[in-house]
Structure 1
Protein backbone atom coordinates (compact mmCIF):
# COMPACT_ATOMS: atom_id res chain seq x y z
CA UNK A 1 0.00 0.00 0.00
CA UNK A 2 1.42 3.34 -0.99
CA UNK A 3 1.02 6.34 1.27
CA UNK A 4 -0.16 9.75 0.27
CA UNK A 5 2.44 12.19 -0.91
CA UNK A 6 3.52 14.52 1.85
CA UNK A 7 2.14 18.02 1.41
CA UNK A 8 4.63 20.80 0.92
CA UNK A 9 2.77 24.12 1.16
CA UNK A 10 5.93 26.23 0.93
CA UNK A 11 7.16 24.24 -2.06
CA UNK A 12 3.81 24.67 -3.79
CA UNK A 13 3.80 28.39 -3.02
CA UNK A 14 7.31 28.73 -4.48
CA UNK A 15 6.24 26.76 -7.57
CA UNK A 16 3.40 29.23 -8.08
CA UNK A 17 5.76 32.21 -7.64
CA UNK A 18 8.26 30.72 -10.10
CA UNK A 19 5.53 30.02 -12.66
CA UNK A 20 4.27 33.58 -12.28
CA UNK A 21 7.76 34.99 -12.86
CA UNK A 22 8.12 32.82 -15.96
CA UNK A 23 4.75 33.97 -17.27
CA UNK A 24 5.63 37.60 -16.64
CA UNK A 25 8.76 37.04 -18.72
CA UNK A 26 6.73 35.36 -21.47
CA UNK A 27 3.62 37.54 -21.72
CA UNK A 28 4.25 40.58 -19.52
CA UNK A 29 2.40 41.58 -16.37
CA UNK A 30 -0.79 42.43 -18.26
CA UNK A 31 -1.01 38.92 -19.72
CA UNK A 32 -0.83 37.13 -16.37
CA UNK A 33 -3.96 35.70 -14.73
CA UNK A 34 -4.68 33.00 -12.15
CA UNK A 35 -5.72 30.44 -14.77
CA UNK A 36 -2.47 30.78 -16.75
CA UNK A 37 -0.43 30.67 -13.55
CA UNK A 38 -2.16 27.52 -12.32
CA UNK A 39 -1.63 25.84 -15.69
CA UNK A 40 2.05 26.84 -15.81
CA UNK A 41 2.61 25.71 -12.21
CA UNK A 42 0.70 22.46 -12.64
CA UNK A 43 -1.56 23.19 -9.69
CA UNK A 44 -5.32 23.50 -9.31
CA UNK A 45 -6.68 26.98 -10.01
CA UNK A 46 -7.74 27.37 -6.37
CA UNK A 47 -4.15 26.94 -5.20
CA UNK A 48 -3.20 30.32 -6.62
CA UNK A 49 -5.83 32.09 -4.53
CA UNK A 50 -5.11 29.92 -1.49
CA UNK A 51 -1.65 31.44 -1.13
CA UNK A 52 -2.25 34.87 -2.66
CA UNK A 53 -5.35 36.95 -2.05
CA UNK A 54 -5.06 38.87 -5.29
CA UNK A 55 -3.37 38.80 -8.67
CA UNK A 56 -1.39 41.86 -7.58
CA UNK A 57 -0.07 40.01 -4.49
CA UNK A 58 1.05 37.15 -6.71
CA UNK A 59 2.73 39.44 -9.23
CA UNK A 60 4.45 41.33 -6.40
CA UNK A 61 5.80 38.04 -5.00
CA UNK A 62 7.08 37.00 -8.44
CA UNK A 63 8.75 40.37 -9.04
CA UNK A 64 10.30 40.27 -5.57
CA UNK A 65 11.65 36.83 -6.47
CA UNK A 66 13.20 38.34 -9.61
CA UNK A 67 14.64 41.16 -7.49
CA UNK A 68 16.45 38.56 -5.35
CA UNK A 69 17.96 37.09 -8.53
CA UNK A 70 19.08 40.56 -9.64
CA UNK A 71 20.67 41.12 -6.21
CA UNK A 72 22.62 37.90 -6.75
CA UNK A 73 23.68 39.18 -10.18
CA UNK A 74 24.94 42.37 -8.53
CA UNK A 75 26.85 40.31 -5.94
CA UNK A 76 28.51 38.58 -8.90
CA UNK A 77 29.29 41.95 -10.52
CA UNK A 78 30.90 43.20 -7.30
CA UNK A 79 33.03 40.06 -7.14
CA UNK A 80 33.97 40.31 -10.82
CA UNK A 81 34.92 43.98 -10.41
CA UNK A 82 37.19 43.16 -7.48
CA UNK A 83 39.09 40.66 -9.65
CA UNK A 84 38.98 42.48 -13.00
CA UNK A 85 41.90 44.03 -14.81
CA UNK A 86 39.41 45.83 -17.07
CA UNK A 87 36.54 46.96 -14.84
CA UNK A 88 34.82 49.05 -17.53
CA UNK A 89 34.59 46.02 -19.83
CA UNK A 90 33.33 43.98 -16.87
CA UNK A 91 30.45 46.45 -16.42
CA UNK A 92 29.70 46.38 -20.16
CA UNK A 93 29.54 42.58 -20.10
CA UNK A 94 27.28 42.69 -17.07
CA UNK A 95 24.88 45.04 -18.84
CA UNK A 96 24.84 42.86 -21.96
CA UNK A 97 24.44 39.65 -19.97
CA UNK A 98 20.74 40.40 -19.61
CA UNK A 99 20.36 40.22 -23.39
CA UNK A 100 22.35 36.98 -23.71
CA UNK A 101 19.73 34.62 -22.33
CA UNK A 102 16.19 34.87 -23.65
CA UNK A 103 14.35 34.04 -20.43
CA UNK A 104 16.61 36.22 -18.30
CA UNK A 105 16.31 39.17 -20.66
CA UNK A 106 12.52 38.84 -20.86
CA UNK A 107 12.36 38.65 -17.06
CA UNK A 108 14.52 41.74 -16.71
CA UNK A 109 12.43 43.62 -19.25
CA UNK A 110 9.20 42.61 -17.49
CA UNK A 111 10.71 43.62 -14.16
CA UNK A 112 11.46 47.12 -15.40
CA UNK A 113 8.19 47.49 -17.29
CA UNK A 114 6.29 46.49 -14.14
CA UNK A 115 7.66 49.65 -12.57
CA UNK A 116 5.75 51.61 -15.20
CA UNK A 117 2.67 49.39 -15.48
CA UNK A 118 1.95 48.32 -11.92
CA UNK A 119 1.29 50.83 -9.16
CA UNK A 120 3.42 50.21 -6.11
CA UNK A 121 6.17 48.25 -7.86
CA UNK A 122 8.63 51.12 -8.25
CA UNK A 123 10.31 50.20 -4.94
CA UNK A 124 11.71 47.09 -6.65
CA UNK A 125 13.44 48.93 -9.48
CA UNK A 126 14.51 51.68 -7.10
CA UNK A 127 16.15 49.03 -4.91
CA UNK A 128 17.90 47.53 -7.95
CA UNK A 129 19.09 50.96 -9.12
CA UNK A 130 20.39 51.91 -5.67
CA UNK A 131 22.07 48.55 -5.21
CA UNK A 132 23.73 48.71 -8.65
CA UNK A 133 24.80 52.28 -7.92
CA UNK A 134 26.41 51.17 -4.65
CA UNK A 135 28.35 48.37 -6.40
CA UNK A 136 29.57 50.72 -9.13
CA UNK A 137 30.28 53.57 -6.67
CA UNK A 138 32.67 51.35 -4.74
CA UNK A 139 34.82 50.94 -7.85
CA UNK A 140 34.26 54.11 -9.90
CA UNK A 141 32.73 56.82 -7.72
CA UNK A 142 29.33 58.45 -7.46
CA UNK A 143 29.22 60.25 -10.82
CA UNK A 144 30.00 57.15 -12.87
CA UNK A 145 27.67 54.98 -10.78
CA UNK A 146 24.63 57.20 -11.31
CA UNK A 147 25.34 57.83 -14.99
CA UNK A 148 25.97 54.13 -15.70
CA UNK A 149 22.77 53.23 -13.85
CA UNK A 150 20.79 55.63 -16.00
CA UNK A 151 22.47 54.26 -19.12
CA UNK A 152 21.56 50.68 -18.11
CA UNK A 153 17.90 51.71 -17.81
CA UNK A 154 18.12 52.95 -21.40
CA UNK A 155 19.53 49.60 -22.51
CA UNK A 156 16.51 47.85 -20.98
CA UNK A 157 14.16 50.18 -22.82
CA UNK A 158 15.94 49.46 -26.10
CA UNK A 159 15.77 45.75 -25.43
CA UNK A 160 12.07 45.97 -24.53
CA UNK A 161 11.41 47.65 -27.89
CA UNK A 162 13.40 44.96 -29.71
CA UNK A 163 15.89 47.60 -30.82
CA UNK A 164 19.44 46.40 -31.49
CA UNK A 165 21.72 46.93 -28.52
CA UNK A 166 25.15 48.50 -28.81
CA UNK A 167 28.06 46.08 -29.04
CA UNK A 168 30.28 45.39 -26.07
CA UNK A 169 32.96 47.65 -27.56
CA UNK A 170 30.44 50.46 -28.06
CA UNK A 171 29.28 50.18 -24.46
CA UNK A 172 32.89 50.17 -23.27
CA UNK A 173 33.49 53.35 -25.31
CA UNK A 174 30.47 55.02 -23.69
CA UNK A 175 31.41 53.92 -20.16
CA UNK A 176 35.01 55.05 -20.64
CA UNK A 177 33.68 58.55 -21.33
CA UNK A 178 31.93 58.42 -17.97
CA UNK A 179 35.18 57.59 -16.17
CA UNK A 180 36.97 60.65 -17.56
CA UNK A 181 37.45 63.27 -14.86
CA UNK A 182 35.78 66.63 -15.40
Structure 2
Protein backbone atom coordinates (compact mmCIF):
# COMPACT_ATOMS: atom_id res chain seq x y z
CA UNK A 1 0.00 0.00 0.00
CA UNK A 2 1.42 3.38 -1.01
CA UNK A 3 1.95 6.32 1.29
CA UNK A 4 -0.97 8.20 -0.25
CA UNK A 5 -3.33 5.29 0.34
CA UNK A 6 -2.26 4.95 3.99
CA UNK A 7 -2.87 8.65 4.58
CA UNK A 8 -6.33 8.47 3.00
CA UNK A 9 -7.19 5.57 5.28
CA UNK A 10 -5.92 7.40 8.37
CA UNK A 11 -7.79 10.71 8.58
CA UNK A 12 -6.34 11.48 12.02
CA UNK A 13 -2.80 11.22 10.65
CA UNK A 14 -3.71 13.60 7.83
CA UNK A 15 -5.27 16.01 10.30
CA UNK A 16 -2.05 15.98 12.36
CA UNK A 17 0.00 16.63 9.23
CA UNK A 18 -2.14 19.66 8.41
CA UNK A 19 -1.83 21.00 11.96
CA UNK A 20 1.94 20.45 11.94
CA UNK A 21 2.25 22.27 8.62
CA UNK A 22 0.17 25.17 9.90
CA UNK A 23 2.26 25.38 13.09
CA UNK A 24 5.48 25.45 11.07
CA UNK A 25 4.12 28.24 8.89
CA UNK A 26 2.94 30.26 11.88
CA UNK A 27 6.49 30.11 13.22
CA UNK A 28 7.90 31.17 9.85
CA UNK A 29 5.45 33.83 8.63
CA UNK A 30 3.15 34.64 11.55
CA UNK A 31 -0.33 33.57 12.55
CA UNK A 32 -2.13 36.17 10.43
CA UNK A 33 -0.23 35.36 7.23
CA UNK A 34 -1.09 31.69 6.76
CA UNK A 35 -3.70 30.57 4.27
CA UNK A 36 -5.38 27.26 3.46
CA UNK A 37 -3.37 27.10 0.24
CA UNK A 38 -0.05 27.61 2.02
CA UNK A 39 -0.86 24.95 4.59
CA UNK A 40 -2.02 22.45 1.98
CA UNK A 41 1.18 22.94 -0.01
CA UNK A 42 3.36 22.51 3.10
CA UNK A 43 1.46 19.41 4.21
CA UNK A 44 1.45 17.91 0.72
CA UNK A 45 -2.33 17.47 0.68
CA UNK A 46 -5.06 18.68 -1.70
CA UNK A 47 -6.36 22.17 -0.94
CA UNK A 48 -9.79 20.74 -0.13
CA UNK A 49 -8.32 18.60 2.64
CA UNK A 50 -7.70 21.62 4.86
CA UNK A 51 -11.33 22.71 4.70
CA UNK A 52 -12.46 19.12 5.09
CA UNK A 53 -10.86 18.95 8.53
CA UNK A 54 -11.19 22.61 9.53
CA UNK A 55 -14.31 24.56 8.67
CA UNK A 56 -12.59 27.94 8.87
CA UNK A 57 -9.09 29.31 8.75
CA UNK A 58 -9.53 30.44 12.34
CA UNK A 59 -10.22 26.83 13.36
CA UNK A 60 -7.00 25.75 11.67
CA UNK A 61 -5.03 28.56 13.28
CA UNK A 62 -6.41 27.65 16.70
CA UNK A 63 -5.40 24.01 16.24
CA UNK A 64 -1.90 25.02 15.13
CA UNK A 65 -1.49 27.42 18.04
CA UNK A 66 -2.63 24.62 20.33
CA UNK A 67 0.12 22.40 18.92
CA UNK A 68 2.69 25.13 19.52
CA UNK A 69 1.32 25.60 23.03
CA UNK A 70 1.79 21.90 23.71
CA UNK A 71 5.37 22.17 22.46
CA UNK A 72 6.06 25.10 24.79
CA UNK A 73 4.36 23.32 27.69
CA UNK A 74 6.66 20.34 27.23
CA UNK A 75 9.69 22.64 27.22
CA UNK A 76 8.47 24.37 30.37
CA UNK A 77 8.17 21.04 32.18
CA UNK A 78 11.63 19.98 31.00
CA UNK A 79 13.14 23.29 32.12
CA UNK A 80 11.54 23.06 35.53
CA UNK A 81 12.84 19.52 36.04
CA UNK A 82 16.35 20.55 34.97
CA UNK A 83 16.40 23.63 37.20
CA UNK A 84 15.26 21.63 40.21
CA UNK A 85 17.87 18.96 39.46
CA UNK A 86 20.73 21.46 39.01
CA UNK A 87 19.67 23.84 41.77
CA UNK A 88 17.73 27.09 41.55
CA UNK A 89 20.85 29.26 41.28
CA UNK A 90 21.65 32.11 38.89
CA UNK A 91 24.30 29.96 37.21
CA UNK A 92 21.92 27.05 36.60
CA UNK A 93 19.09 29.28 35.40
CA UNK A 94 21.41 31.25 33.11
CA UNK A 95 22.78 28.02 31.66
CA UNK A 96 19.29 26.77 30.82
CA UNK A 97 18.11 30.12 29.44
CA UNK A 98 21.19 30.40 27.22
CA UNK A 99 20.71 26.84 26.03
CA UNK A 100 17.15 27.63 25.00
CA UNK A 101 18.39 30.64 23.01
CA UNK A 102 20.50 28.30 20.89
CA UNK A 103 17.36 26.43 19.78
CA UNK A 104 16.14 28.52 16.83
CA UNK A 105 12.93 26.53 16.52
CA UNK A 106 12.08 27.11 20.18
CA UNK A 107 12.79 30.84 19.91
CA UNK A 108 10.58 31.14 16.83
CA UNK A 109 7.76 29.13 18.43
CA UNK A 110 7.85 31.34 21.51
CA UNK A 111 7.72 34.44 19.33
CA UNK A 112 4.74 33.11 17.36
CA UNK A 113 2.74 32.36 20.49
CA UNK A 114 3.56 35.64 22.23
CA UNK A 115 2.76 37.62 19.08
CA UNK A 116 -0.60 35.88 18.80
CA UNK A 117 -1.23 36.55 22.48
CA UNK A 118 -1.31 40.30 21.84
CA UNK A 119 -4.60 39.84 19.98
CA UNK A 120 -6.02 36.62 21.42
CA UNK A 121 -6.87 36.39 25.15
CA UNK A 122 -6.84 32.59 24.98
CA UNK A 123 -3.27 32.55 23.75
CA UNK A 124 -2.36 35.31 26.20
CA UNK A 125 -3.24 33.03 29.09
CA UNK A 126 -0.96 30.38 27.64
CA UNK A 127 1.89 32.87 27.13
CA UNK A 128 1.68 33.83 30.80
CA UNK A 129 2.12 30.22 31.78
CA UNK A 130 5.86 30.31 31.06
CA UNK A 131 6.41 33.29 33.35
CA UNK A 132 4.23 31.77 36.06
CA UNK A 133 6.25 28.55 35.95
CA UNK A 134 9.54 30.42 36.18
CA UNK A 135 8.27 32.36 39.19
CA UNK A 136 6.92 29.15 40.69
CA UNK A 137 10.25 27.35 40.89
CA UNK A 138 12.25 30.42 41.97
CA UNK A 139 9.92 31.92 44.59
CA UNK A 140 10.36 29.22 47.28
CA UNK A 141 14.13 29.86 47.23
CA UNK A 142 14.42 33.56 46.46
CA UNK A 143 11.07 35.07 47.42
CA UNK A 144 8.08 36.11 45.31
CA UNK A 145 9.24 39.65 44.44
CA UNK A 146 12.76 38.67 43.35
CA UNK A 147 11.40 35.68 41.43
CA UNK A 148 8.94 37.93 39.57
CA UNK A 149 11.70 40.43 38.75
CA UNK A 150 13.93 37.61 37.48
CA UNK A 151 11.08 36.30 35.34
CA UNK A 152 10.62 39.73 33.76
CA UNK A 153 14.35 39.85 33.03
CA UNK A 154 14.26 36.38 31.43
CA UNK A 155 11.30 37.45 29.26
CA UNK A 156 13.43 40.40 28.16
CA UNK A 157 16.37 38.13 27.37
CA UNK A 158 14.13 35.97 25.18
CA UNK A 159 12.75 38.98 23.34
CA UNK A 160 16.26 40.38 22.90
CA UNK A 161 17.07 37.20 21.00
CA UNK A 162 14.16 37.87 18.63
CA UNK A 163 15.61 41.12 17.31
CA UNK A 164 19.37 40.58 17.56
CA UNK A 165 21.61 38.26 15.59
CA UNK A 166 23.50 37.08 18.66
CA UNK A 167 21.95 36.09 22.02
CA UNK A 168 23.25 37.55 25.24
CA UNK A 169 26.28 35.84 26.79
CA UNK A 170 25.56 33.27 29.46
CA UNK A 171 27.88 35.11 31.88
CA UNK A 172 25.94 38.36 31.44
CA UNK A 173 22.65 36.56 32.10
CA UNK A 174 24.14 34.88 35.17
CA UNK A 175 25.55 38.10 36.62
CA UNK A 176 22.27 39.95 36.09
CA UNK A 177 20.30 37.16 37.74
CA UNK A 178 22.74 37.17 40.63
CA UNK A 179 21.97 40.82 41.23
CA UNK A 180 18.21 40.45 40.78
CA UNK A 181 17.95 37.43 43.05
CA UNK A 182 20.28 38.92 45.65
CA UNK A 183 22.58 35.93 45.56
CA UNK A 184 26.20 35.40 46.51
CA UNK A 185 28.70 34.15 43.99
CA UNK A 186 27.85 30.61 45.09
CA UNK A 187 24.20 31.15 44.23
CA UNK A 188 22.73 31.25 47.73
CA UNK A 189 20.82 34.21 49.11
CA UNK A 190 22.89 36.33 51.52
CA UNK A 191 21.79 36.44 55.13
CA UNK A 192 19.35 39.22 55.97
CA UNK A 193 20.38 42.16 58.14
CA UNK A 194 18.12 40.92 60.89
CA UNK A 195 19.66 37.46 60.85
CA UNK A 196 23.20 38.87 60.87
CA UNK A 197 22.43 41.19 63.77
CA UNK A 198 20.86 38.39 65.77
CA UNK A 199 23.87 36.19 65.18
CA UNK A 200 26.22 38.84 66.53
CA UNK A 201 24.31 39.30 69.82
Structure 1 length-normalised TM = 0.85
Q: Quick one: which of 11, 20, 23 aligns to 2:13? A: 11
**Higher relative contact order, chain-length normalized (CA < 8 Å, sep 6+):** 1
Q: Quick one: which of 78, 81, 85 aligns to 1:79? A: 81
Tell me which structure has the larger Cα radius of gyration.
Answer: 2
Map residues 26-175 of structure 1 onto 2, 5 A cutoff. 26-85=28-87, 87-118=89-120, 120-162=122-164, 164-175=166-177
Once residues 107 and 33 of structure 1 are traced to their aligned partners in structure 2, the CA distance between those partners, rounded to angstroms, is 18
RMSD, aligned α-carbons: 2.4
Structure 2 length-normalised TM = 0.78
Other structure's SS at 1:160 match: helix
Contact 1:52 1:58 in 2 (8 A): yes
Residues 7 and 148 from structure 1, CA distance in 2 versus in 1: closer, same or farther, beyond 3 angstroms?
farther
Contact 1:28 1:110 in 2 (8 A): yes
Deviation digits for residues 106-131 of structure 1 (CA, Å, limit 9, x no counterpart): 11211211112446421221233323
Once residues 176 and 83 of structure 2 are traced to their aligned partners in structure 1, the CA distance between those partners, rounded to angstroms, is 18
Once residues 51 and 7 of structure 1 are traced to their aligned partners in structure 2, the CA distance between those partners, rounded to angstroms, is 14
Other structure's SS at 2:167 match: coil
Once residues 124 and 162 of structure 2 are traced to their aligned partners in structure 1, the CA distance between those partners, rounded to angstroms, is 17
Q: How many residues align?
A: 181
Between 117-126 and 68-77, the greater mean CA deviation after superposition = 117-126
Once residues 128 and 49 of structure 1 are traced to their aligned partners in structure 2, the CA distance between those partners, rounded to angstroms, is 32
